[in-house]
């Protein structure tokens, strides 16, 4: 019998794992079988979500979209376009040229380390809204969510280079979401430009541009000198006309979050783009697990508006939290209506909410600290925007030595210092201020607070911390030694060493040194410990055990495994 799950938003693999009670590895494998590669934090589009859930006996329904069903007069809206591409391939230069060449343009935000939104007036009839995303690999999640917000993707490729990793990622993202792609072949002014090579490489991926008899529009350009950009804009307008983008003034607003932030003067704010309907001051909006009354709308020039139409980026005030970039919001006219929907959603998602609360419970943190007490850097992140937090988290995702205790938007305060004191953590701030009280409390309790404006420097500092730690005078507390007597392979675990404990004890999740002929050949983590086919925490002297070492496979009979902790 098919079970039904109701969602107010699109979710990622981690959240789907909790709802379906299916390991995320199985979910990821199913996505791969459909030809789509996804990360654990990446949101699944509705079609993919439906397909994957159906494989495990579930039917997905997105509830309460905020759009009424009766026939209404539909009005054309401007397209929202995202610029994607590899670092230094010229997407920012392209946008800069478009902005400079038009009669005037409206701008909100900027090309920094957040998603920048720009409205460009092409002529009296046509306007285009551009979303520019950073190129650093840490912003993969932001770029993916950007494609969920937009109508058309412009993928910029430098013709004097090759199709690079970010280019492939951009193509995959746009195809997964199902939005049209226009390729901009840039840098045709250089001596080494070879557009044919790029078209050939795309053809190898079964992506044929119109010049090669395919369906994808493309244009050769020079963002530096403006060559071909007018023709590119014409193709964007043509693509938008084919999409027949419409909205109704009678509909309640539905749209997407571009970015959100928190500051002392205004509380929580969000930059949004509406896809349908009209949003008025005084309307109530619901986005994920957050809701609020719109008390103010600010346009690109800082003017207060009474309402906003689709495809125009604006800043709204009144939410009770900071939603993530790419979240879908719906508007309602009464507080009663929005709270009814919210409570219904909360009831439907109870298992997910409980699971999220469990993640940050004291018990879980204490258990993890005991298991990997000295191997990890406990970290508290405070940042200016949700997008910044996501980018920092993404950049640290593959570092298993970093333990994120907390990640929130807002300035660093006394509460953060107290939390850092409790968990012996470092506080890292990104584009935020540190209160005087927090500084005094941190100095008194020897709490380290670091503040950065560039993510690269933050990453480098954390890497430097581990290098310094490795080279410093750290003492090892030896638990015990075991000798490898044989080894075998288990399907779910990998290579397991059959060992005899020679002295002391072997402790699960401890750090290990692998010695061969009295030389240390590997230092790593004891991943799994078994005794008589059962998972155990400790195996004492004279007993046999099975040991799996994380990320090490080249074992030999006679090797010595030392289990220890750093003090």
CA atoms within 13 A of residue 86's CA, in its CB half-sphere: 15
Using DSSP's 3-state secondary structure scheme, residue 454 falls into: coil
Q: What is the CATH number of the domain that holds 147?
A: 3.40.50.300
Using DSSP's 3-state secondary structure scheme, residue 140 falls into: helix
Judge if 87 and 232 occupy the same domain.
yes
Q: Which residue has the tokens 């750093």?
A: 566
Judge if 446 and 374 occupy the same domain.
yes
Q: Which residue has the tokens 């009839």?
A: 125
Q: Would you list the DSSP string of 357-392? A: HHHT-HHHHHHHHHHSTTTSEEEEEEESBHHHHHHH
Judge if 446 and 401 occupy the same domain.
yes
Judge if 304 and 437 occupy the same domain.
no
Number of domains in the chain: 5
Q: Is 193 left (phi over 0), alpha (psi -120 to 50) or beta?
A: beta
Q: pLDDT value at position 189?
A: 94
- Secondary structure in 3-state letters for 406-450: EEEECCECHHHHHHHHHHCCEEEEECCCECHHHHHHHHHCCCCEE
Q: pLDDT value at position 148?
A: 62
Contact predicate 369/422, CB 8 Å = no
Q: pLDDT value at position 366?
A: 42
Judge if 309 and 367 occupy the same domain.
no
Judge if 58 and 127 occupy the same domain.
no
Q: pLDDT value at position 263?
A: 72
Contact predicate 328/254, CB 8 Å = yes
Q: pLDDT value at position 2?
A: 63
Below-70 pLDDT ranges, the chain? 1-2, 7-10, 34-43, 45-46, 62-72, 101-116, 133-148, 176, 344-375, 397-400, 465-476, 566-567
Contact predicate 45/99, CB 8 Å = no
Strand partners, 74: none
68 domain residue, yes or no:
no
69 domain residue, yes or no:
no
Tokens of 521: 């050949």
Alpha helix positions (H), 424-532: 436-444, 455-471
Q: From 159, 190, 173, select the one nearest 43 (Cα to Cα).
A: 173
Q: What is the CATH number of the domain that holds 538?
A: 2.40.30.10
Tokens of 436: 């005087």
Q: Provide the terminal-to-terminal Cα distance of the chain, rounded to the nearest Å.
A: 55
The residue out of 433, 455, 471 marking a domain boundary is 471
Q: What is the CATH number of the domain that holds 438?
A: 3.40.50.10050
Alpha helix positions (H), 178-294: 195-204, 229-243
Using DSSP's 3-state secondary structure scheme, residue 531 falls into: strand
Q: Would you list the DSSP string of 18-59? A: HHHT--HHHHHHHHHHTT----TTSBPPHHHHHHHHHHTTEE
Distance between CA 233 and CA 546 in Å, rounded? 64
Judge if 339 and 365 occupy the same domain.
no
Q: pLDDT value at position 70?
A: 45
Pair type for strands 377-383 and 426-430: parallel
72 domain residue, yes or no:
no
67 domain residue, yes or no:
no
Domain encompassing residue 519: 476-566
For residue 413, count CB atoms less than 10 angstroms from its CB and return exposed for 0-12, middle for 13-18, buried for 19 or more. Answer: middle
Backbone angles phi, psi at 151, to 5 degrees: -100, -35
Judge if 374 and 327 occupy the same domain.
no
Contact predicate 201/162, CB 8 Å = yes
Q: pLDDT value at position 143?
A: 55
The sign of the torsion formed by the CA atoms of 498, 503, 508, 514 equals negative
Judge if 96 and 238 occupy the same domain.
yes
Judge if 86 and 231 occupy the same domain.
yes
286 domain residue, yes or no:
yes
Q: pLDDT value at position 154?
A: 94
- Report the predicted TM-score, pTM, of the whole model to 2 decimal places: 0.55
24 domain residue, yes or no:
yes
406 domain residue, yes or no:
yes
The residue out of 448, 471, 494 marking a domain boundary is 471
Q: pLDDT value at position 262?
A: 79
Q: pLDDT value at position 353?
A: 39
Q: pLDDT value at position 534?
A: 84
The residue out of 349, 380, 398 marking a domain boundary is 349
Judge if 24 and 153 occupy the same domain.
no
70 domain residue, yes or no:
no
Contact predicate 474/450, CB 8 Å = no
Tokens of 471: 């080279």
Judge if 310 and 278 occupy the same domain.
yes
């Amino acid at each position: 019998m098919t079970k039904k799950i109701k969602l107010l938003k699109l979710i990622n693999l981690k959240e789907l794992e909790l709802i379906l009670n299916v390991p995320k590895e199985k979910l990821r494998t199913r996505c791969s079988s459909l030809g789509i590669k996804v990360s654990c934090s990446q949101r699944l589009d509705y079609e993919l979500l439906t397909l994957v859930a159906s494989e495990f006996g579930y039917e997905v329904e997105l509830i309460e979209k905020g759009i009424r069903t009766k026939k209404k007069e539909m009005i054309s809206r401007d397209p929202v376009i995202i610029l994607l591409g590899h670092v230094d391939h010229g997407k920012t230069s392209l946008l800069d040229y478009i902005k400079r060449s038009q009669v005037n343009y409206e701008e909100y935000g900027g090309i920094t380390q957040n998603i920048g939104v720009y409205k460009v007036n092409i002529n009296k009839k046509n306007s285009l809204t551009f979303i520019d995303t950073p190129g650093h690999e840490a912003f993969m999640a932001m770029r993916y969510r950007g494609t969920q917000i937009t109508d058309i993707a412009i993928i910029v490729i430098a013709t004097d280079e090759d199709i690079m990793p970010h280019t492939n990622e951009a193509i995959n993202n746009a195809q997964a979401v199902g939005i049209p792609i226009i390729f901009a072949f840039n840098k045709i002014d250089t001596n080494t430009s070879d557009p044919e090579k790029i078209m050939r490489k795309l053809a190898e991926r079964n992506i044929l541009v119109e010049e090669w008899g395919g369906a994808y529009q493309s244009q050769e350009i020079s963002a530096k000198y403006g060559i071909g950009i007018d023709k590119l804009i014409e193709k964007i307008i043509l693509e938008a006309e084919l999409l027949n983008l419409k909205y109704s003034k009678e509909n309640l607003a539905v749209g997407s979050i571009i970015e959100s932030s928190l500051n002392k003067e205004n509380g929580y704010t969000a930059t949004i783009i509406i896809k349908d309907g009209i949003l008025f001051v005084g309307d109530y909006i619901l986005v994920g697990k957050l809701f609020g009354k719109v008390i103010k709308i600010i346009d690109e020039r800082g003017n207060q508006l009474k309402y906003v139409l689709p495809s125009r980026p604006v800043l709204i005030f009144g939410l009770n939290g900071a939603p993530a970039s790419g979240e879908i919001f719906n508007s309602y006219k009464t507080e009663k209506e929005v709270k009814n929907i919210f409570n219904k959603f909360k009831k439907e998602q109870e298992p997910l909410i409980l699971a999220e609360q469990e993640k940050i419970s004291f018990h879980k943190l204490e258990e993890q600290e005991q298991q990997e007490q000295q191997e990890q850097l406990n970290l508290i992140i405070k940042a200016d925007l949700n997008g910044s937090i996501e980018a920092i988290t993404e950049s640290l995702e593959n570092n298993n030595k970093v333990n994120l205790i907390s990640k929130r938007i807002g300035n660093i305060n006394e509460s953060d210092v107290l939390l850092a004191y409790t968990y012996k953590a470092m506080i890292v701030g990104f584009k935020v201020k540190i209160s005087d009280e927090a500084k005094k409390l941190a100095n008194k309790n020897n709490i380290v607070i670091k503040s950065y404006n560039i993510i690269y420097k933050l990453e480098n500092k954390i890497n430097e911390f581990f290098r310094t730690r490795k080279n410093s005078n750290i003492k090892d507390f030896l638990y015990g030694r075991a000798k490898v007597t044989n080894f075998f392979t288990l399907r779910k675990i990998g290579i397991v060493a059959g060992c005899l404990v020679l002295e002391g004890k072997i402790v699960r999740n401890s750090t290990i040194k692998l010695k061969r002929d009295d030389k240390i050949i590997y230092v790593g983590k004891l991943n799994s410990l078994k005794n008589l086919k059962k998972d155990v925490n400790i195996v004492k002297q004279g007993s046999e055990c099975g040991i799996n070492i994380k990320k090490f496979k080249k074992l030999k009979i006679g090797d010595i495994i030392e289990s220890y902790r750093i003090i």
